[in-house]
Every structure is written in structure tokens, then in C-alpha cells.
Amino acid sequence: MLRAALIGFPSSGKTTLFQLMTSARDAPKGKGDVNIGISKVPDARLDALTAMYNPRKRVPATIEFTDIIAPARSGAQALVDVAGYKNADALVHVVRAFRDASVPHPSGAIDPARDARTMEDELLLADLGVAERRVERIEKDLKKGRSAELERERDLVRRCQAALEDGQPLRALELTGDDRKLLRGFQFLSAKPLLLVINLDEGDLAEVGSTIAKAAEKVGLTDFLAHAATRAVAVCSKIELEISQLEGDDAKAFLSDLGLSESGLDRVIRASYDLLGYMSFFTVGEDECRAWSIARGTTAQNAAGEIHSDIQRGFIRAEVVAYDALIGRGSMATCRDHGEVRLEGKEYIVQDGDCINFRFGT
């Protein structure tokens, strides 16, 4: 399952958004407390497949969100010590851009660009400490004897150290697959993909709609979003709270008045999914229609392992039909009649929206 950790300074609306996205009732109460919730990835394709098969069970893809009351302003080491941050696949930074005199900002003035940069600096400082300690350890080990593997690791970590000292997040570095694999164990925070959730006033959201460039320009975040692997979504927590209390049709009408096609919460969930380079394939039938999360570039055999390790081990072939073909024909049988169901081997790269039946032996 994909894991995303929410970060943000006090009074940013982070915990409110977490509760709305995950339907969590209880919020963390004290510093270091953790709350974990599951969000369903919205996908109209799964809705259409469910309508076609009328299965007993519908299972969407999911993302695990973690909300942590972490002392972000009390030092970088505190970030390193929070496992929920280190274990996350991505970080979601809720940045306050709304004005409310009854909810004062800890720093006084509302300044989204300052808050985004300050949080980024915290991540960089935390990573720099990890890099420095690792280089020191490697140097000590190399004094005991030369090791090509350790030398390569030292050079790579030194490169990371130089980037961090220059104020560059590690997610912006161009690294090979082997380099990324080597660094994975360090769990560098600034190497994780970053999603900014810009928490706007209602009037500002109505003005910018879902156009991120407009939202970023309005609150001074255009330059920050030029970083690699950094994206943004604009929401208004006040509106999201009101929408959550409305029935389906009323909620759609409310969003339409704002020029939006879906709620900010759905946009946050979808953006988190896309940010990590994930996509969905489907298994369909009268028993169940389910969306499965996999990274882009996943082979058919490895995709089978998402369902069960036995299917991966005993993989024989994958029966594959594209979503558009299945919906267009109306049934798997008709797709077969038109030659649109393919038999693919273990090295086939699964495509977004593939509907797959795995053949396997035990």
C-alpha cells in the first residue's frame, strides 16, 4: 500500500484535512502522537466496471495517510526521529494560505512561501545530519581496508551532502536506478516526492479553481514549485468541511459553482497517487471488481504478486484486455470474439487501466 505522511505547521489545517480524507474521528493530541487513516483513490473506471459486472464486492485502490504531531519548528533531528516520516513514500505538506483572525499563525503573518521554504530547510537539515554521520562512518571503515563498494557509497553520499549544503533537496538530483537503490536505506526526507496542499480562502479558491499555476502565483509559490518531484493542489478546508456534510447531488452543485469537477480531497488523493508514479490495473468479475496499485513499468508477473505471492510464483500467462475495449464491447466474451483479449508473458509491462486475469499453476 502507498504511504504518505502529512506535514505542516500548527494552524495550517493539516489535521482537519486528514480527518476529512480518511474519515478519522480522533486526531493526534500530543507531540509525537500518530494517527493513520486509509483513503480510497477515486477512479471512474472502477465505477464503470462495477456497473457492468454488478459484483458482490467493489474494492478501490487505497493510500495510507499518516498525521503526526511533530515538533517541526523545534529542530531537524525531531523529523528524523519520527518513523512515520521516514517510512513514507511521499510527504504531503499542508501550507496555510487562508486568513482567519480567530486562528492566528504561529509566525504572525500569513506567508505560504516562507512556510514552504522553512519546512524544506528542516528536511534538508535533517538529511544533512544523516549524510554527515554516514560519511564519517565510511571513512573510519575505509581506514581499516579499501573497499570499492564503500568508496562508491561514500562518493554518492558526499554528492548528496554537497547538494544539501547548497540548499538543494535530494528529490531534485538526477540519480541512476542503482544510486536510488543504494540510498533507499537512508530514508532521506528531502528525497521523497513532495506534494504541497495550498489551503486557500474560499474566495481565492473560487478565483483560481483547479488551476495550480494560478494558485501558486497568487500565494507566491511559483518558484518553489519549480523543484523536481514537487507538485501542488489547491483546497479550502472550510469548503471541504461543508461539502462533507452534503448529499451527493448537493455536493456536486456546490463544486460546480466553484468551477470544480471534484472535491479538493479527491484531488489530494489522486495527486498523491500520481506523484509517486503509480497507476491501477483491474481484476473484474461477478464476485469482485478491484483496482490494484502498481508502479509504472511493473511487469505482469510482479503485478500478479500484488494479488498473491502464489500467483506470482506460479505465473503462466496474463489474459489482458484494455479498459476502453472492455467498456466499449460490453463484455469479456465480446472482446474475445473481436480478438481484443491478449495472452501476455511474465515480462509484459502492465498498462494503466489493463483488466487482467492471471493464469497460474500451484
Dihedral class, residue 24 (left if φ above 0, else alpha if ψ from -120 to 50, else beta): beta
Note whether 91 and 66 are within 8 A (CB). no
* In the chain, ranges of CATH 3.10.20.30 domains: 297-360
Contacts of 349 (CB under 8 A, 6+ apart): 297, 298, 299, 300
pLDDT at 72: 44
> Each residue of 141-181: pLDDT tens digit?
998 888 899 999 999 999 999 999 999 999 999 988 899 99
Q: How is residue 49 written as a grid cell?
A: 466496471
Q: Does domain 297-360 have CATH number 3.10.20.30?
A: yes
* In the chain, ranges of CATH 3.40.50.300 domains: 2-42+60-106+193-275
Q: Are strands 57-59 and 34-40 parallel, antiparallel or unpaired?
A: unpaired
The DSSP line for 10-57 is: TTSSHHHHHHHHHT------STT-EEEEEEEPP-HHHHHHHHHH--SE
The DSSP line for 181-221 is: HHHGGG--STTS-EEEEEE--HHHHHHHTT-HHHHHHHHT-
> Each residue of 12-41: pLDDT tens digit?
999 889 988 888 665 555 555 778 899 999
Helix or strand run (H / E) with residue 81: none
Closest CA relative to residue 258, chosen from 217, 210, 216: 210
Residue 227, Cα to own-chain centre: how many angstroms? 16
**What single letter denotes the amino acid at residue 302?**
N
- Residue 53's CB: how many other CB atoms inside 10 A? 17
pLDDT at 317: 97
Note whether 41 and 291 are within 8 A (CB). yes
> Each residue of 72-99: pLDDT tens digit?
445 555 565 566 678 899 999 999 999 9
* Better pLDDT: 206 or 274: 274
Note whether 247 and 8 are within 8 A (CB). no
CATH T-level topology, domain 2-42+60-106+193-275? Rossmann fold (3.40.50)
What's the whole-model pTM score?
0.87
Interatomic CA distance for residues 50 and 143, integer angstroms: 63
Q: Is 293 helix (H, G, I), strand (E, B) or coil?
A: strand
Burial class (CB in 10 A: 0-12, 13-18, 19+), 238: middle
Q: What is the mean pLDDT of the chain?
A: 89
* In the chain, ranges of CATH 1.10.150.300 domains: 123-186
Q: Does domain 123-186 have CATH number 3.40.50.11540?
A: no
**What single letter denotes the amino acid at residue 291?**
A
